[in-house]
Amino acid sequence: PTRSHFDAFAKMEFAETGLPSGTVTNGWITRFLASRSALGVLRGVALEDIVPLSLSGADSTLPIADPENFLFPGDPISAQERSDLLAEMYALTPPPVGSAALDTFASIDLLGNVDFTGYVPANGVQYPATPLGNKLRNAAVVIKAQIGVEVITIDMAGWDLHANLGPLTGSMAAQLNELTGAIEAFYLDMLGQIDDVTLVVQSEFGRRVQQNSSTGLDHGHGNAMLVLGGSVAGGQVLGSWPGLAPSQLDDGDLAITTDYRDVLGEILAGHFGVGASDLAVIFPQHTFSPVGVTV
């Protein structure tokens, strides 16, 4: 197993784990979107400053770290006129620049009709005032706006816990509190649309079994995934436990018993209806083994 954040992250985002680097050149979500007919001009959203590798090469996708960045500055009365003038200018520009610009203007017009500021969550939910809480709130806004977005990606940093991990009050506890508090708010807010939503939490690798000298854990191997949604067979812990005896470890790390591609592939098949031939393109050279994550 690799213990490099960058290598492991790229392998998972491209879904080329176990394959030589460079075997695939676009993200697995990009290949998923290419297997389906578009529902709108904006298909994928990254609630970040940049689009992740999983969406690399995809059309009709945008990074949206701050929704207000997609509002035309200045007098709102003249905003549409200025937008139209710019669109007319780029309409005369040959592709790919012209077509990319027109797609961007179409997305801006679409997002301009989405009320991020005045959004009131359902069921009296109050999202935590945390980075992840704000991102999941914006995700709920986009989903409920029904503007054709099929995939939303969100990053949560701060898990590189080499020191002061702490069992109950340390860095890990703080991270988990932010994660679970934001997910709980999102779930309660989305109850009315939960059959249309599947949320997946995953990381590029886990932590080592043995604590280091800084009361932390260095880069490891095996990890856990969390899945939530209306099509999820919830309330279960799936997979086999490999054990923590020295002979059961993988080079000193928790061994992996479930391939993340099996989880993602089952969600794509169960929630989106993706067929076997398309799954073979989305996750190349991978033989699927059912996990039981979807109903």
Beta bridge partner(s), residue 44: 61, 151
Name the CA radius of gyration of the chain, rounded. Answer: 21
Going edge to edge, which strands form the sheet with 44-46?
A: 61-63, 44-46, 151-153
- Burial letters for 251-265: b for 16+ Cβ neighbours within 10 Å, e otherwise? eebbbbebbbbbbbb
pLDDT at 77: 81
Q: Is the pTM of this model over 0.85?
A: yes
Phi, psi (rounded to 5 degrees) for 63 = -85, 130
User: Which amino acid, 20?
Assistant: P
Domain boundaries, the chain: 5-70+114-226
Query: pLDDT averaged over the chain?
Result: 93
Tens of pLDDT, residues 141-170: 999 999 999 999 999 999 999 998 887 888
Q: Which amino acid is at 61?
A: T
The pLDDT > 90 percentage for the chain reads 76
Average of per-residue pLDDT across 203-215: 93
Torsion angles phi and psi, residue 219, rounded to 5 = -60, 130
Residues in a beta bridge with 199: 228
pLDDT confidence of residue 84:
87
| 10 pLDDT above the threshold of 70 | yes
How far is the C-alpha of 70 from the C-alpha of 203, rounded, in Å? 30
Yes or no: say if 42 and 25 are a contact pair by the CB < 8 Å rule: no
Q: Which of 15-19, 114-118, 169-173 has the lowest mean pLDDT?
A: 15-19
Query: Confidence class of residue 22 from pLDDT cuts 50, 70 and 90?
Result: confident
Is it the case that residue 209 has pLDDT exceeding 80?
yes
What CA–CA distance (Å, rounded) separates 182 from 131?
9
Asked if residue 263 lies in contact with residue 227, where contact means CB atoms within 8 angstroms, the answer is yes
Digit-coded pLDDT (tens) for 100-138: 888 888 888 899 889 999 999 999 999 999 999 999 999
pLDDT in tens, 35-88: 999 988 999 999 999 999 999 999 889 999 999 888 777 787 888 888 889 889
Residue range 22-38: mean pLDDT, rounded: 93
- Give the integer Cα–Cα distance in Å for 118 and 259: 41
pLDDT at 14 over 90: yes
Share of the chain above pLDDT 70, in %: 100
Cβ 48 vs Cβ 13: under 8 Å? no
Within 8 A by CB and 6+ apart from 123, the residues are 188, 189, 191
Per-residue pLDDT at 1: 64
- Distance set, CA 224 to CA 159, 184, 255 (Å): 13, 18, 11
The dihedral built from the CA positions of residue 256, 257, 261 and 266, taken in this order, carries a sign that is: negative
